[in-house]
Chain A
């Protein structure tokens, strides 16, 4: 029997790990990536919570799987069209090449929320307002953290939930990783600059993962990082370039006005542009939050509405790195089961439409 072909769309961590596993299971795998490097967002992230492991190490680990197996990596391409003929998928690429697959695995991931859209926080307007991604870039570069005029910041504010849990920008969901990222980045700042005061402004601290709570406790006890419950209402710039924050301390029950030298916005996950494009090309179901809608929320989390098309990673909703890797392996086994002629993904669960709570509105 001829080897079956799988096309994996997106070379982030989900795409890498599922490609490795599919290849190991004996399929011909083609991994498509629009940039010139595999690794996705993780390439731009220095360290990971809660261990402070380097992101690079995780990418290296995943790359070993890719190198080990005979995977056809196609970089710098975008998808022009996808057609399904019987059980075959025909993927036409921007470089003129065409690939045929028996199954497609979509790992198009997420984009970071564009902080410009939260205009009242002043990103792109005030110089000393940056995002968590910008801060990671500084960490990666190894340069010291300074204000735009080169001074060492005396006080840094970190705002949680920027673009998440915010009806005003149309994203009602929690992005899952920002709370603990805020704790992690606050600790990193403190480690580099012990004299700098760090304030985190949060709505809820969601420390659901193993060791997250310990990290949060350490941030307070060991590093003296301050956590203030209250959503930032607006930021304004002083003449000297510092940022005035207006926020309500909802635990103390009083309004608060504070000057900080740098303001960091913890930007959340939004459905990626790539996901939207692929979804449009193929006619995939999109959930109310804009991420792909899986066939069922509990049981068929890698299965799409098109037979032979599967999902892995954060294209179906915000996920941590750990979850994404696990999900990628799960997706690989779903694809394998499909290609080997098992109908595991076709098992029916009663009224799965009805149990899409948020969508049922």
Chain B
């Protein structure tokens, strides 16, 4: 058996790592809600792990999503992850070939070169040595890239990177030393025994010419083993926890488990999958207007360290840009909302009066129109929608024409789940009473909650979808104008509900739609978000100013959006007129009438 005392640090480190990880994962799996546990078990029967393996290969090893964001950054991650993976796999195969048996000690492949000097005659030896040296070379370049990333983060497309904590630093520095130490240790051994591949062999000979390798070889194997040990021990307490955790997260997600309304085991898997890469920092629009560390990465860091402040929980536009770009796929928005429950006030308003106040005549309607509070504050949109609805020929009821009940989303933003439920209950009662088949909203915020949290039996449409359908069914005909317009995607409609095409199709039909650099997933938040309870009006204005400037770059005649709040917010900063899509449609009907 191959043994030397220097293998001990590695073995101890690996054992500690294994113990901590398995304890944590077991605890989190226990913390999963019953329904999620069921899904996870069923996932095994349904071979969900086959798809998961492919995703793990794609994301955890090749880092496809990071490649999309920046090629250099992707290359660094891929060469590290995939390189190390190959080093382990091929190293294991190599050691088995040497021993010609299936079982050997787990540290054998790692320290093989120290124990096995006779690689010349063996059939695969030349091949293996070459491949292993090549992989080591890739890992060394990755280390160089990683170190230069710390210095020149701009090269990697990152304007700002995360600030590291102690655990991160130790893990980071030990990671930086692992492969250079392995390279030196292997080179020294190769120099002594005159073997090794193109890298270790060549450098071994060079080192042998001027270094006392006899003295150096042994301590460097010790150092290599110790570096591994250090990295393993600090991994669970550092950002590198994402490496093993992400694999589990991918599997659970493939089983259909999603972030729920409470802090469950899945949430733990999510927050420990955060690699603190800091991609969300540059994508966050708050970064440009304030110093606070409130971005996704810092928010999750605070949860992990159990020091989450209400300010961080509430200082977020909930635009979802971070979620879109998160390479690990953490639903940061949902985690933020569930964390707000901890800070929300217990008792709030008394909604008992709603029962008597708001009534609706039970009658057969086709369509319910729910304008929402923001639409009531932008009466042009309301009037346009009433005109469109009248023109449509559908029998509709304007549900919140007089007295209205809030959709409940603002309370959810505040983390007040219980009170929101009361409002939802009242609204649902009214909606069911009308007997309508379709609910149309003008406000994407209302749309989001009606669609995703009410469990309504009827169809929920945003007015852009409804208008699109009216055009398709030839219920309204529109004339095309020569206006040059750009379209601004409202967060709650686009990123959250994937309504991208309907507004664009309508706009193509009635105007000249131009493209911008900030479309669809990459759309910016207008700054009017109801989700942020912390930033000042001045900071909001800055956000709005920045995004309006970007949308007006090519001097459109009109900036079109599909959200009353976006319209209202942009209107106060923009020189270019801001219109809701319904206003344009309503005007297009008018023109047709005049002919």
Contact = CB atoms under 8 A, between A and B. Distances in A.
A237 B538 CA distance: 32
B573 interface: yes
A119 B537 contact: no
B572 A168 contact: yes
Contacts of B383: 125
Interface in B360-402: 376-380, 383
Interface residues of B, number: 13
A236 B376 contact: yes
A235 B379 CA distance: 9
B64 interface: no
Interface in B504-551: 537-538, 541
Contact of B379 (A117, A120, A168): A120
B572 A234 contact: no
Contacts of A236: 376, 379
B527 to A, nearest CB: 12
Given A170-B572, A170-B573, A120 B541 contact: no
Interface string A156-183: 0000000000011110100000000000
A227 interface: no
Interface in B566-582: 568, 571-573
Interface residues of A, number: 17
B334 to A, nearest CB: 29
Given A167-B537, A168-B537, A170-B541, A119 B572 contact: no
B537 A120 contact: no
Nearest to A122: B379
A235 B571 CA distance: 18
A236 B376 CA distance: 8
Contacts of A126: 379
Interface in A85-136: 117, 119-120, 122, 125-126
B134 to A, nearest CB: 58
Contacts of B378: 119-120
B568 A119 contact: yes
B528 to A, nearest CB: 9
A119 B568 CA distance: 8
A119 B380 contact: yes
B401 to A, nearest CB: 9
Nearest to A120: B377
A357 to B, nearest CB: 14
A120 B538 CA distance: 21
Contacts of A168: 537, 572
Interface in A52-94: none
Nearest to B567: A119
Contacts of A361: 538
Nearest to A167: B537
Contacts of A235: 379
A119 B541 contact: no
B188 to A, nearest CB: 61
Interface in A318-361: 361
A78 to B, nearest CB: 19
A125 B571 CA distance: 16
Given A119-B568, A170-B541, A234 B380 contact: no
Interface string B78-98: 000000000000000000000
For A117, A168, A172, A234, the residue with the greatest tally of chain B CB atoms inside 10 Å of its CB is A168
A349 B380 CA distance: 51
A276 B369 CA distance: 44
B376 A120 contact: yes
B571 A119 contact: yes
Contacts of A125: 379-380, 383
A166 to B, nearest CB: 10
A169 B537 CA distance: 10
A235 B377 CA distance: 8
A234 B573 contact: no
B42 to A, nearest CB: 51
A172 B571 CA distance: 17
Contacts of A172: 537
A361 B380 CA distance: 36
A286 to B, nearest CB: 15
Contact of A234 (B376, B541, B571): B376
A361 B383 CA distance: 41
B106 to A, nearest CB: 60
Interface string A228-245: 000001111100000000
Given A119-B571, A170-B572, 8 more contacts: A119-B378, A119-B379, A120-B376, A120-B379, A167-B537, A233-B377, A236-B379, A361-B538
Closest 6 CB pairs of A and B: A167-B537, A120-B377, A125-B379, A119-B378, A169-B572, A122-B379
22 contacts: A117-B572, A119-B377, A119-B378, A119-B379, A120-B377, A120-B378, A120-B379, A125-B379, A125-B380, A125-B383, A126-B379, A167-B537, A168-B537, A169-B572, A170-B537, A170-B541, A170-B572, A172-B537, A233-B377, A234-B379, A235-B379, A237-B379
